[in-house]
Structure 1
Amino acid sequence: MKKFLAVLMAGAMVLAMAGCSGGNSTASGSEASSADSSAADSTVSTADANSISASDGSAEVSAPATAEADDSAVEDAALPNAMKPDLLSAAIRNRLGLDEAASTAAAEQMLTKLMYNQGNPARVAKAIQKLQAGEEVTVAFLGGSITQGTGADNENCYAALTAKWIEEQYPGAKVNYVNAGIGATGSYIGVHRCDNDVLSKDPDLVFIDFSVNDESQNNNINKLTYEGLIRKIWNYTTAPGVICVAMTQDNGTSVQDCHGAVCAKLGVPMVSYHDAMLDFLDTQDGVQWSDISGDNIHPNLNGHAILSAMLTTYLQYVTDNLDSIDTTDPVLPDPGEEGAKYEKAQLLTTDDAQPVSTGAFQQKNMDFGGFKNPWIAKSSDGTFGDDSALVIEVEAQNIGILYGMLTNNAGLADVYVDDEFITTINADFTGGWGNYVQFAELKSFDESGKHTLKLVPRGTEGSPSAFYLSGITIS
């Protein structure tokens, strides 16, 4: 049986990516001002998807209707022992007040939508075997504000609840919990900060959540940063298991299809809160979005508890099938021309980077949007002197920056690479939900080399202005 499943799962891993159609709209109420650009090879992300606008005890898992190119692979990779509804049923009953029969029926229906992609569970199985053996296991959660715990709290967010369940299931093991969620960040920022925030902790199991932070209009880059992120984690020395999570907005907006195509290509499991929860809300009388979320995106305490139950249901599913899983370490398919573009991505923090000159920028000891000690250029009247530029030398093939979007007194920055004007970045987010860190990919080259990045701050004459630089992204 193990050999049979291994062959089937290997077949699933070599499927070509079906494409990245992604979500069908941008996040409501979250439009950030786009940068004026004269460079065809620069990309500036323009919105923040973490904004807020006001029966028989078992069920088989079926392939989701949205994964058309991978339907047969998902079904073929299903394990012999079916998922059990117990954990989901208990969460629905305890959090939403449904009676036992209704909660069990709802859980069984959810199970039919839960797995967007079955993937190869070998790495996840290895982590569970370590837990069973009483070893030390590090479980990390990488994502945006949902992972960070928005809508719940530090103890009752889905990540903490899932880690707590693992600890309770395996009291003889030492479980290290890492929450690497930062609000308003997607997979571009995620792949660049992964080394510092996740891999430095030597994880054995990593959950990834970026499906409502990545934006569908950027799917040409989303598929590359998401694949690079998975490859980066997969190839780390601890050989971590990876489980991807597809979240949703109230209107269904999500780049689940884009991320799911990457998961199908790489043979990585993906749990779909998007499919399971939206179907539940469509079919369950008396339950609505406001019962599981306090806004248009973030789960509330109920939603976090149910999301955690989805993840623990999958973990229990793998546990129940350990004897049937071939734990031979899977080999990822060839990345092709661009699949590994961001696998070696790094974030040069303001503490790491050594500017040639800082100009009008001064480093401030503070936390801004989850990133420490930004360089800030400020002017009380919107004017900056002739020597106001920050200049830094980097060695990279792809260069970008992280900068602050500001609701008040936002400035601009003219960006140059090797003295070539690339773009003007406008940090204005007046009327938005709050300040946050955004990314701009600036320039890509045919090969890695030494380059000079220059930022020249600008403002509106007569008005206070500021520009925050939170890091340099290189790959």
Structure 2
Amino acid sequence: MPFSINNFPIYSCNWVSLFFAWIGCVCTVVASQEPGSDVVAAFSRATKGEPLRYVAIGGSITQASSSGWIGDWLDEQFPKSEISVVNSGMSGTGSSLGIFRIDRDIISHAPDLVVIEYCVNDGGLTDEQAILYMETLVVRLKSLPHPPAIVIVEAAARRGVNLQRHRRIARHYGLVEADMQAAVEAHLSEHGEDWNVLFSDDVHPNRAGHALYAETLRNTLRPLLNRARSKDRATATPLVPLPPPLSTKPLLLDARLVPLQAYITPDWKTGAPPSAWWGRFFQGAITAEAPGTALRLPVRGTTFGLFYARDTDNGSFLVNVDDSVPSHVYANTRDGFSYLLAGVDLPAREHMLNVVLPAESEIDPSRNGSVTLGYLLLAGETQATREPSPQGTFTPEVLRDLNLVPVPADAWSWTGPFSLSYPKEQMPIDARADTFTKFAPEPGDANFSLDRFTWKPVSAESNLVDFRTLIGEKKPSFVYARTEFDGGSGGQALLSITVDYYCQLWLNGERIIIFDGPHPRPHFSGPTESRSKRVLH
């Protein structure tokens, strides 16, 4: 049975993942009435000499900041107070992982003041998802017996970021906002400077940029500090019932990280955290390396996932919930860490999470090797029953023997590149803005025909093709690729795609996969019914 793959735009870059979930909740906690009054109360207590515990959480922008931008400043402003500063920034992560980290990386430090910076890394989320996760963070913190003051840092990007989702949360709950986009644009305009004076790329501040962030955050908080020092300062946060949630989905208020080092079997051993700097994000680990090794975890709730280590010497693993179509995760595309949710918004009951190391393969040796798992991501348990879930087709025994046949690179052809024209100063760093632009070889109009274009052969030494190198084009652009292969006769087909950047995939003219964020994990599509003719592009 012939198959074709066409119009497959890809890029080469590093990897990261975002995943989403929710559970039911009833919000009966309280929040501050006037914007910033929670900060005034925290500063008033510190002025009197009470301890001030400060936690900053976010992605790589926060991680690279010195003492969360204002740790030293807080120490200067409150000489009578014992100031503690915790930088919980974690590169390559957004609020979708932050909701699982909140207990370990914020609440455990009993904070009085929390800064949340996820605006840039939440850029790939839908409005619904961004509101769901940020609101979950805010409501959970404001539900504590001693709720901390919260400040939302709206970080900047060269071509701007979507500030409105986080801004809606901040204003709905009376939280202080620090608009870094406005501060950066005002500074560059006033001094006649280029973006690169403050940033090392489109989003990451350099030393001067972090200094501007720190100054902006100080200027945002200084009026609240003056109020705290005034004679009529408040020492307790004015409290009113929380407003109804903005999210259309129930909040994920019991999301947490569950360390896996206690889950020991003859095949999975206790392992040490990675020795590099990112090892601090792990609390122990378990490791396995033999092909076919399986781990079955009975879990209760609605949402389940894994936080795992990445190393170029590692292998890959298959993961699913209740024997559903698996995800195939290559843990060796780079060094560091990543996470995925294998089951989202499932019925609130008992489930089974399966992890299987794939069978040994001579065709794709990169799939075999050691795997290191750090945490189970778990949510929805407080709403779940003990009812067992029905199991599906892809049992661990099936996953052990799952061997997909790769389509060789020299079987592909491509056309392009295609791109839009930008002024030099506005040239994007990648092609994300054009992901949904319909270039000529894309289906969707009556005149579409693959035969209208010149298709060139792909030349590559492996089955992973770097189109940026192939086309010799540094400007952000797209290419379209196609191939044909024999999928066997009858039955169903399980298709797998691995891509490191934005792409869309069509099957017989029907779009079946969209990667509109960078660094997606390898993705299975199917099983799908076989036909006599298949066109994937």
Short-chain TM bin: 0.5 to 0.7
Matched, 1:162 2:70: yes
Matched, 1:438 2:346: no
The 1:440–1:295 alpha-carbon spacing in structure 2 relative to 1, beyond 3 Å, is: same
CA deviations 1:113-140 (Å, max 9, x no partner) are xxxxx97212111101111111111111
Map 1:55-454 → 2, pairs under 5 A: 120-149=35-64, 157-252=65-160, 254-281=161-188, 283-322=189-228, 327-335=237-245, 338=248, 340-351=250-261, 354-355=262-263, 358=265, 360-367=267-274, 369=278, 370-379=281-290, 384-385=291-292, 388-406=293-311, 408-409=312-313, 411-417=315-321, 419-427=322-330, 430=333, 434-440=335-341, 442-447=343-348, 449-454=349-354
- Counterpart for residue 468 of structure 1: 372
Matched letter for residue 259 of structure 2: T
The 1:213–1:361 alpha-carbon spacing in structure 2 relative to 1, beyond 3 Å, is: farther
Matched letter for residue 242 of structure 2: L
Q: Is the 8 A contact 2:318 2:327 kept in 1?
A: yes
| Structure 1 Cα separation of the partners of residues 164 and 78 of structure 2 | 34
**How many residues in Structure 1 have an aligned counterpart in Structure 2?**
346
Q: Which has the larger radius of gyration?
A: 2
Q: Is the 8 A contact 1:140 1:177 kept in 2?
A: yes
The 1:199–1:43 alpha-carbon spacing in structure 2 relative to 1, beyond 3 Å, is: closer
Matched letter for residue 435 of structure 1: G
Matched letter for residue 394 of structure 1: V
* CA RMSD across the alignment: 3.0
| Structure 2 Cα separation of the partners of residues 255 and 375 of structure 1 | 38
| Structure 2 Cα separation of the partners of residues 203 and 244 of structure 1 | 15
CA deviations 1:435-473 (Å, max 9, x no partner) are 3323325232343x3332111122661324343322111
Partner SS, residue 263 of structure 1: helix
Partner SS, residue 345 of structure 2: strand
Q: Is the 8 A contact 1:405 1:438 kept in 2?
A: no
Matched letter for residue 461 of structure 1: S
Q: Is the 8 A contact 1:33 1:429 kept in 2?
A: no
Q: Please, what TM-score do these two structures have when normalized by structure 2?
A: 0.58
- Counterpart for residue 488 of structure 2: none
| Structure 1 Cα separation of the partners of residues 145 and 338 of structure 2 | 30
- Following TM superposition, by how much is the alpha carbon of 1:267 offset from its aligned partner in structure 2, in angstroms? 2.6
CA deviations 1:196-232 (Å, max 9, x no partner) are 1111111111000112222424544332121111111
Q: Please, what TM-score do these two structures have when normalized by structure 1?
A: 0.65
- Counterpart for residue 462 of structure 2: none
Q: Is the 8 A contact 2:17 2:339 kept in 1?
A: no
| Structure 1 Cα separation of the partners of residues 48 and 17 of structure 2 | 52
| Structure 2 Cα separation of the partners of residues 274 and 30 of structure 1 | 26
Q: Is the 8 A contact 2:288 2:370 kept in 1?
A: yes
- Following TM superposition, by how much is the alpha carbon of 1:43 offset from its aligned partner in structure 2, in angstroms? 6.0
- Counterpart for residue 5 of structure 1: none
Q: Is the 8 A contact 1:397 1:445 kept in 2?
A: yes
The 1:166–1:340 alpha-carbon spacing in structure 2 relative to 1, beyond 3 Å, is: farther
| Structure 2 Cα separation of the partners of residues 332 and 375 of structure 1 | 41
The 1:376–1:256 alpha-carbon spacing in structure 2 relative to 1, beyond 3 Å, is: farther
The 1:251–1:311 alpha-carbon spacing in structure 2 relative to 1, beyond 3 Å, is: same
Q: Is the 8 A contact 1:208 1:242 kept in 2?
A: yes
| Structure 1 Cα separation of the partners of residues 266 and 352 of structure 2 | 15
Q: Is the 8 A contact 2:158 2:202 kept in 1?
A: yes
- Following TM superposition, by how much is the alpha carbon of 1:340 offset from its aligned partner in structure 2, in angstroms? 4.5
- Counterpart for residue 28 of structure 2: none
Matched letter for residue 122 of structure 1: S
| Structure 2 Cα separation of the partners of residues 284 and 460 of structure 1 | 61
| Structure 1 Cα separation of the partners of residues 223 and 12 of structure 2 | 38
Gaps of 5+ in 2: 1-10, 22-32, 380-537
Q: Is the 8 A contact 2:289 2:371 kept in 1?
A: yes
| Structure 1 Cα separation of the partners of residues 266 and 92 of structure 2 | 29
Matched letter for residue 402 of structure 1: F
- Counterpart for residue 15 of structure 2: 32
| Structure 2 Cα separation of the partners of residues 362 and 219 of structure 1 | 41
State the percentage of identical aligned residues.
Answer: 23
Partner SS, residue 363 of structure 1: strand
| Structure 2 Cα separation of the partners of residues 284 and 204 of structure 1 | 35
The 1:217–1:176 alpha-carbon spacing in structure 2 relative to 1, beyond 3 Å, is: closer
Q: Is the 8 A contact 2:135 2:247 kept in 1?
A: no
The 1:389–1:119 alpha-carbon spacing in structure 2 relative to 1, beyond 3 Å, is: farther
The 1:29–1:258 alpha-carbon spacing in structure 2 relative to 1, beyond 3 Å, is: farther
